[in-house]
Amino acid sequence: MSSLNMLTISEAQNLLRKKEISVIDILEAVFWRIDSVEEKVKAFITINKENSLTVAKDAQKKIDSIGSNDNISLLGIPIAVKDNICTKGILTTCASKILYNFIPPYESTVTMRLKNKGYILVGKTNLDEFAMGSSTENSGFQTTLNPWDLERVPGGSSGGSAAAVAADECIAALGSDTGGSIRQPASFCGVVGLKPTYGRVSRFGLVAYASSLDQIGPITKNVRDSAILLKIISGHDPYDSTSAPINVPDFTECLEKDIKGLKIGIPKEYFIEGMDKEIENTIFQAIKLLESLGAIPVEISLPHTEYAVATYYILATSEASSNLARYDGVKYGLRAVGKDLMDMYLTTRAQGFGAEVKRRIMLGTYALSSGYYEAYYRKAQQVRTLIKKDFEDAFNKVDIIVTPTSPTPPFKAGEKTQDPLQMYLTDIYTISMNLAGVPAISIPCGFTSNNLPVGIQFIGKHFDEESILKIAYAYEQSTDWHRRKPAL
């Protein structure tokens, strides 16, 4: 019974369709697991137990009424959602004290699409406050820990979602990715994380951090599940002017295709001094395996990579400074008592925001301020264009780009909290894809000598998620890294 929480989406669909298990069986297994390990992992901010049992009964009735060959989609599948994605009637805090009591009156587009397919919301997962961080240590409520080693971080900002999937506290999860926040925690927790092309998935109902970079995507136990979830959450949305009116393929259909002759670009800028040797060796072993499957490695250059972190931290913080101006204690969330209106604003924001959020708001406000706008913000936008062009040039020569997901294995909790710059550099291999808007997926490709997961990243052309899913699936089928489980 308890092992049902270890199922993937496709395995659960199969057993439910054949009526070999019930929705209640899976849900009880998931909640049994949460009761067993959540105290150690701390992946969730809100656990949605009562409501999910009601939804489960309805899902079971629908499954009972359909044939054993019918597509049951997500009927009865327990999925966790990052707590910066709005869920109607269910607390959505962004892991910030300023939104400690915010219950959205509307549903995000992605969760509405999951709802229409019958999913069960297990709970809302922990994150770095407003998705600002790489370790989930910036949460206003708790620090999530890595199921592989409880002294280490799960990555961030979607650390709660990645840890919940790795610990089998849900069947799959949704995260959001502004500079690596799906892929880096997926790498740290030994699961699969996919950041879609900017515009592939609606951002309506995702609480904004940096609107030109944010993208919602799946965190799953294997590549097939990522393809299943991506198909459901993708597509144009009239509520989001940045969502692209582009056809959504069935991403599962590309998985079995051959990768023979596929040109994979190895960017020389990603294999440099300072990178962990074990990670470097693991990635090169993975590239060798891809070669044996028929892929052709080609050395390429992404010359503006060295400017990516600086560019990102000007643009993302500038957008954050603008987006977070709405939290003033007037309409929703925390309201502090002040002598007058201005004092109320100041006290609310001083009490409600954590140190990292304040740091980024100040950086962004400075970059946008009169006299500095041209020197910082405009210059960063120009460099962003150069970074995007690097990818366009590279994709004229290769089909896919392969890199490590992170330059280091998961680090210990508290190790980098005193040095924001060191923390920012942990996203050095993921930030460029957000600046360029291209899709990327991280999948498990090995373990360090300390039994810590290592992730490999596949990057594709705009709206070519099929290619990265195809190569990720081919690699995954030739290895068993994704089947390993932490001994919690």
Q: How many angstroms separate the CA atoms of 89 and 162, rounded? A: 24
Active-site choice (181, 406, 432, 467): 181
CA distances from 260 to 293, 401, 470, 477 (A): 6, 15, 11, 15
Query: Which residue reads 């959450």 in tokens?
Result: 233
Q: How many angstroms separate the CA atoms of 165 and 251, rounded? A: 21
Please, what's the largest Cα pairwise distance for the chain?
70
Q: Quick count: other Cβ atoms within 10 Å of Cβ 450?
A: 11
CA distances from 484 to 127, 168, 452, 479, 488 (A): 24, 12, 11, 11, 12
Active site residue 322: no
What does the block give as tokens for 347?
């006290």
What does the block give as tokens for 284?
């090169």
φ and ψ at residue 398, rounded to 5 degrees = -130, 165
Active-site choice (22, 135, 157, 158): 157
Active-site choice (22, 42, 52, 82): 82
What does the block give as tokens for 378?
């405009």
The answer to whether 242 and 204 have CB atoms below 8 angstroms apart is no
CA dihedral for 239, 240, 245, 249, sign (positive or negative): negative
Q: How many angstroms separate the CA atoms of 88 and 215, rounded? A: 20
The answer to whether 177 and 198 have CB atoms below 8 angstroms apart is no
Tell me the residue ranges of DSSP E strands in 417-471. Answer: 440-447, 453-459
What does the block give as tokens for 90?
């269910």
CA dihedral for 459, 465, 471, 476, sign (positive or negative): positive
Q: What's the first-to-final CA gap in the chain, in angstroms?
A: 18
What does the block give as tokens for 304?
């503006």
Active site residue 82: yes
Active site residue 331: no
Catalytic residue ranges:
82, 157, 181
